[in-house]
Amino acid sequence: MTKRSKLLLFDVDCTLVDTGGAGLTALSQACVETFGAEGPPFDLAGSTDGGVVRGIFAHFGKDYDAALEETFYQAYLPLMEANLRDESYGGRVLPGVPELLGACEEAGHTLGLLTGNIERGGLIKVSHYGLAEHFQFGAYGDDHWDRNKLGPFAIERANEHTGKNFTAEDVIVIGDTHKDINCAHAIGAPCLGVATGSQSLSQLIEAGADLAVEDLTMPSVRGFLEI
Ligand SMILES: [Mg+2]
């Protein structure tokens, strides 16, 4: 019997790429453009953009409003794109990522994004860093503000896109925070935790990562992802 191919769902920030704060700064700049003042301190690690925007609205005493959310994104996205082009942020693709994505594809696995970025923001980031060709679909922060609800969107899109019949049993999530781990476990999928963000190896293990590694160059990654 041939081994069933996997659906590998990658987080973006601090898993595939580190924008060096380009995204975080754009959020503050967009607050200034939209509300005339910087927003609250942001806890971005593993958060969805929709969740962050709800926090910003609460900070400025606004009820949630979809039109205002879109106005905010219209300010945020070009600012983020400009910041990504600004080399002083020192943004980069994280170690081992291009090689790993290529190896996953060669092994016959299907790759997708599972990120708190809204779709437009996530695609700007993976395009900027030359990774867009690997990702034809994803689940994003505009599918739901609660990251734990994103897994089923990713599976549905994978099936639409590939014509295969992936279930949660076929999924492995790769991410850098406890929120990625919780999101994977919410659909019963394992999570590879990678300590290239704000959370340490021991924090990822404590949070229940099924494997935790310092970065994606570690040899144990390949066995875990069945490549
Ligand atoms: Mg992340």
- Per this entry, what is the length of the chain? 227
* 22 CA distance to ligand 1 middle (Å): 14
Please give the helix or strand (H or E) that residue 211 lies within, else none: strand 211-213
Report residues near ion ligand 1: CB below 5 Å.
Answer: 11, 13-14, 176
* 197 CA distance to ligand 1 middle (Å): 7
Encoded tokens for 221: 């990654």
Alpha helices, H only, the chain: 22-35, 49-59, 66-85, 97-106, 119-128, 151-162, 178-186, 201-206, 220-224
CA distance 39 to 213: 33
CA distance 91 to 51: 24
Spatial CB neighbours of 60, under 8 Å, sequence gap ≥ 6: 31, 35, 37, 39
Encoded tokens for 47: 């958060």
Kindly tell me if the per-residue pLDDT of 111 is higher than 90: yes
What are the angstrom distances between the C-alpha of 112 and each of 34, 36, 151? Answer: 32, 37, 11
Q: In the chain, which residues fall in CATH 1.10.150?
A: 22-88
CA distance 185 to 176: 14
* 227 CA distance to ligand 1 middle (Å): 23
Architecture per CATH, domain 22-88, reads as Orthogonal Bundle (1.10)
Q: In the chain, which residues fall in CATH 3.40.50.1000?
A: 7-19+92-224
Q: What is the mean pLDDT of the chain?
A: 95
For the stretch 169-212, pLDDT in tens is 999 999 999 999 999 999 999 999 999 999 999 999 999 999 99
* 109 CA distance to ligand 1 middle (Å): 21
- Percent of the chain's residues with pLDDT above 70: 99
For the stretch 36-89, pLDDT in tens is 999 888 887 778 999 999 999 999 999 999 999 999 999 999 999 999 999 999
Q: For residue 3, what pLDDT band results from cuts at 50, 70 and 90?
A: low
Kindly tell me if the per-residue pLDDT of 149 is higher than 60: yes
* 45 CA distance to ligand 1 middle (Å): 6
Architecture per CATH, domain 7-19+92-224, reads as 3-Layer(aba) Sandwich (3.40)
